[in-house]
């Protein structure tokens, strides 16, 4: 008997019948379309996929996907997704969250999902603002950010989501921009295929409360100069003319111009996303403008035991060794009778 031929899906098959209710021009529209295209390409049926979100503009996401979905409570999506994945290990589980939802009230849930290496695909929409509650500064807002809750400018030092994730020993780290489909599609595909926690930071615009949040690097006319696409096994080259690169000396990266002072591509830092040592991935996470181009693409993709598989293996082991009767189980090895 011939094996069934996998059916080709279309992106619209992963779109629900709900009206999409984000502000016109919001970067979330581009992300939604990108995710639906990525799911269609991987060939997993919608009944084997779940989207779980917290609270915020990004967290409307499950309503717009023709998959299983849960719109949960503020910051707790990774915890609920962990439980879901443990009891339904065959499901592909995506977590959709924002910079406020994940890094403020949900900070502990976020880092522990990463350190445990739960098989979740975590999309963090980073627009550097609380959009749903009308424009308060968030954990990623830059120092000096003037908002309704910081009229004199924020004095909080912002989180760097990538650095936080590396500190939690995340096994997969990637970054993309909401309007850059050429980078987003391979990044989503790589995350979907990763065994364990896959974290993607998506730099996203909020045109109502923080318009131009990433304009200095995301605008099409500057993107080639202000970002660098990481490619495994390739030297780090960037620039509209592909004439700039990143050289590393010890643990110090520097921007160089190819052709000056005898510098060639052979002198550049070669990206190794499989490096088990997270030191260089951390260095990449610290590369920010204006001194450096912002890295996009996959920063890290390594293997480590997967939490939900280990949990289920322990359950199976316990069931195989369970006592023959309930009373023996209740008494255990250390019990006594009170006279």
Least confident range from 4-8, 214-218, 309-313: namely 4-8
Residue 194 to residue 173: CA distance in whole angstroms: 10
Q: Are 154 and 77 spatial neighbours (Cβ–Cβ below 8 Å)?
A: no
What average pLDDT score do residues 266-293 get?
A: 97
Nearest CA to 55 among 111, 105, 129? 105
pTM above 0.85, yes or no: yes
Q: State mean pLDDT over 123-141.
A: 96
Q: Is the per-residue pLDDT at 324 higher than 80?
A: no
48 or 322, which is more confident: 48
In DSSP terms, which residues pair with 147 in a beta bridge?
Answer: 150
CATH 3.40.50.970 fits 11-213+305-312, yes or no: yes
For the chain, counts of helices (H) and of strands (E)? 11, 11
The pLDDT, as a whole number, for residue 179 is 94
For residue 330, the tally of other CB atoms under 10 A from its CB is: 9
What's the pLDDT at 339?
Answer: 76
Give the per-residue pLDDT at 247: 97
For residues 129 and 52, what is the distance between their CA atoms, to the nearest angstrom?
21
Over 80: is that where the pLDDT of 4 sits?
A: no
Q: Residue 1 pLDDT more than 50?
A: no
Q: Give pLDDT tens digits for 75-113.
A: 999 999 999 999 999 999 999 999 999 999 999 999 999
Taking residues 45-66, what's their average pLDDT?
Answer: 97
Confidence class of residue 334 from pLDDT cuts 50, 70 and 90? confident
Count the helix, strand and coil residues of the chain and give each as a percent rounded to the nearest 5. Answer: 35, 20, 45
Q: What is the structure's pLDDT at 228? A: 98
As a whole number, mean pLDDT of residues 153-159 equals 96
- Residue 338: predicted pLDDT: 82
**In the structure, what pLDDT confidence band is assigned to residue 164 with cuts at 50, 70 and 90?**
very high
Q: Is the previous residue joined to 182 through a cis bond, with omega within 30 degrees of 0?
A: no
Q: What is the pLDDT of residue 323?
A: 66
- Give the integer Cα–Cα distance in Å for 123 and 178: 11
> Collapsing DSSP states into helix, strand and coil, what is residue 257?
strand
pLDDT per position as a tens digit, 217-272: 999 999 999 999 999 999 999 999 999 999 999 889 999 999 999 999 999 999 99
pLDDT, residue 2, reads: 53
Give the DSSP H/E element, type plus range, for residue 197.
none
Task: Pull the structure tokens for residue 167.
Answer: 């500190």
**pLDDT higher than threshold 60 for residue 3:** no
Structure confidence at residue 286 as a pLDDT band (50, 70, 90):
very high
Give me the percent of the chain exceeding a pLDDT of 90. 90
Mean pLDDT confidence for 135-150: 95
Domain residue extents for the chain: 11-213+305-312
What is the pLDDT averaged over residues 270-275? 98
**What order of strands is seen across the sheet that includes strand 252-257?**
237-238, 244-249, 252-257
Calculate what percentage of the chain has a pLDDT beyond 70.
97
């Amino acid at each position: 008997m011939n094996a069934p031929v996998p059916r080709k899906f279309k992106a619209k098959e992963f779109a629900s019948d709900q009206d999409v209710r984000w502000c016109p021009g919001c970067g979330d529209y581009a992300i939604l379309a990108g995710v639906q295209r990525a799911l269609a390409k991987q060939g997993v049926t919608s009944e084997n996929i779940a989207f779980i979100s917290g609270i915020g503009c990004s967290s409307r996401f499950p309503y717009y996907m023709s998959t299983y979905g849960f719109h949960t409570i503020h910051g707790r999506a990774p915890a609920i997704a962990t439980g879901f994945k443990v009891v339904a290990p065959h499901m592909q589980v995506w977590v959709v969250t924002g910079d406020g939802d994940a890094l403020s009230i949900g900070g502990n849930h976020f880092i522990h999902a990463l350190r445990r290496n739960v098989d979740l695909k975590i999309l963090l929409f980073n627009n550097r603002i609380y959009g749903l509650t009308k424009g308060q500064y968030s954990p990623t807002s830059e120092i000096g950010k003037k908002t309704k809750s910081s009229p004199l400018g924020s004095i909080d030092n912002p989180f760097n989501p990538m650095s936080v994730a590396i500190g939690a020993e995340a096994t997969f780290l990637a970054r993309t921009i909401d309007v850059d489909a050429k980078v987003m599609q391979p990044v989503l595909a790589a995350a979907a295929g990763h065994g364990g926690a896959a974290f993607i930071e998506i730099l996203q615009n909020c045109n109502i409360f923080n318009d131009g949040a990433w304009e200095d690097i995301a605008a099409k006319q500057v993107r080639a100069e202000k970002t660098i696409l990481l490619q495994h096994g390739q030297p780090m080259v960037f620039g509209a003319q592909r004439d700039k690169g990143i050289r590393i000396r010890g643990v110090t990266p520097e921007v160089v111009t190819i052709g000056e002072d005898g510098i060639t591509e052979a002198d550049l830092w070669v990206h190794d996303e499989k490096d088990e040592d997270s030191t260089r991935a951390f260095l990449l996470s610290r590369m920010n403008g204006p001194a450096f181009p912002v890295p996009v693409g996959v920063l890290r993709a390594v293997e480590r035991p997967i939490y939900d598989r280990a949990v289920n293996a322990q359950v199976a082991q316990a069931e195989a060794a369970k006592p023959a009767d309930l009373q023996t189980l209740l008494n255990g090895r250390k019990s006594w009778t009170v006279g």
